[in-house]
Amino acid sequence: MRLRIAAGNWKMNTSLQEGIELAKAIQAFVSEFPLDKHKRIVLGVPFTHIVSIVNLVDYKKISVAAQNCARWEKGAYTGEISAEMIRSSGAHYIIIGHSERRQYFNETNEELKTKVELCLKNSLRPIFCVGEKLDEREQNKHFEVVQKQLTESLFHLDVEHFSHVLIAYEPVWAIGTGKNASPEQAQEMHMFIRKLIAEKYGASAANDTSILYGGSCNAQNAASLFAQPDIDGGLVGGASLKANDFIEIIKAL
Ligand code: PEP
């Protein structure tokens, strides 16, 4: 089923206590808010927060996501956290291939392919991030860049495994800059992504895939972005750290 999702990416923000307070505020709102069964809230929290937040939210409406996992299954990789550990902590989703990880940790399409496989093996749904940098858009290479990211990290999956994947289109120039893609720019790319999925996996798989927009999505612009036919919600950074702003984004779903 194609879900509409408001996903927060808290990044490396909030102490455990602050994270709990934020999750409690969102939970308090959601407990009074009727959420259709095809809508879902996902909180992408630091590893240290997963268990506590899983235990305080209503799992029927709110799922917890990690923001990364190790590229190995287990073993002597001091400091790393495996997909299996994340799943056993109660998370159901995982943000994979965020542009900050591609940039600061040199994550490649090949490495992300492995991470996607580890997520699926451990029943975690990857929210797989794609998106072009500013110079790539200026050179009109944005479609090519996104196609390569999808092809090299996801399109080896069979249709059953692919059905568990969500995609987040996050133009790098829009992340944390306050400059979001216009609804038309975002829709154009989302439609392109859905077309690629249809070519690879068929129309029904494409129709069932949730494609989220990320990049300076906020309480003011969420409704116009989410009104686009191929935008199924948002992956939200800065605005997910303020309960009231994130609640407005949930209402816009
Ligand atoms: C993100 O980091 O995924 C993101 C979209 O950040 P922001 O909303 O702050 O641009």
CATH code of 29's domain: 3.20.20.70
- Nearest Cα neighbor of 169 from 151, 149, 190, 148 is 190
176 lines ligand 1 (CB under 6 A): yes
Q: Which residues pair with 64 in a beta bridge?
A: 43
Residue 215: band (very low, low, confident or very high) from pLDDT cuts 50, 70, 90:
very high
181 lines ligand 1 (CB under 6 A): no
- Residue 1, pLDDT score: 83
- Averaged over 60-78, what is the pLDDT? 98
- Averaged over 203-229, what is the pLDDT? 97
Instruction: Tell me the per-residue pLDDT of 140-162, one tens digit each, with 9 for 90 and over.
Output: 999 999 999 999 999 999 999 99
Burial of 204 (0-12, 13-18, 19+ CB in 10 A): exposed
- Residue 121, pLDDT score: 98
3-state helix, strand, coil in the chain (%, to 5): 45, 15, 40
- Residue 163, pLDDT score: 98
Rounded CA separation 137/118 (Å): 31
Cβ(3)–Cβ(39) below 8 Å: yes
CA–centroid distance, 9 to ligand 1, in Å, is 7
- Nearest Cα neighbor of 197 from 164, 162, 148 is 162
When divided into structural domains, the chain yields a total of 1
Instruction: Tell me the per-residue pLDDT of 159-182, one tens digit each, with 9 for 90 and over.
Output: 999 999 999 999 999 998 888 899
Structural domain for 9, as ranges: 4-251
- Averaged over 201-226, what is the pLDDT? 97
Q: Which of 32-36, 60-64, 228-232 has the lowest mean pLDDT?
A: 32-36
| Residue 92 is among the residues annotated as catalytic for this protein | no
Which amino acid is it at 212?
L
| Residue 170 is among the residues annotated as catalytic for this protein | yes
Q: Which of 65-69, 173-177, 248-252 has the lowest mean pLDDT?
A: 173-177
Cβ(42)–Cβ(20) below 8 Å: no
Q: Which of 217, 221, 225, 245 to mutate to test the pocket of ligand 1 (most atoms within 8 A of CB)?
A: 217
218 lines ligand 1 (CB under 6 A): no
Rounded CA separation 230/221 (Å): 16
CA distances from 216 to 12, 94, 120, 225 (A): 17, 20, 29, 11
- What percent of the chain stands above pLDDT 70? 100
99 lines ligand 1 (CB under 6 A): no
Q: Name which residue sits closest to atom 8 of ligand 1, judged by CA.
A: 237
Instruction: Tell me the per-residue pLDDT of 2-60, one tens digit each, with 9 for 90 and over.
Output: 999 999 999 999 999 999 999 999 999 999 999 999 999 999 999 999 999 999 999 99
Q: What is the mean pLDDT of the chain?
A: 97
Residue 222: band (very low, low, confident or very high) from pLDDT cuts 50, 70, 90:
very high
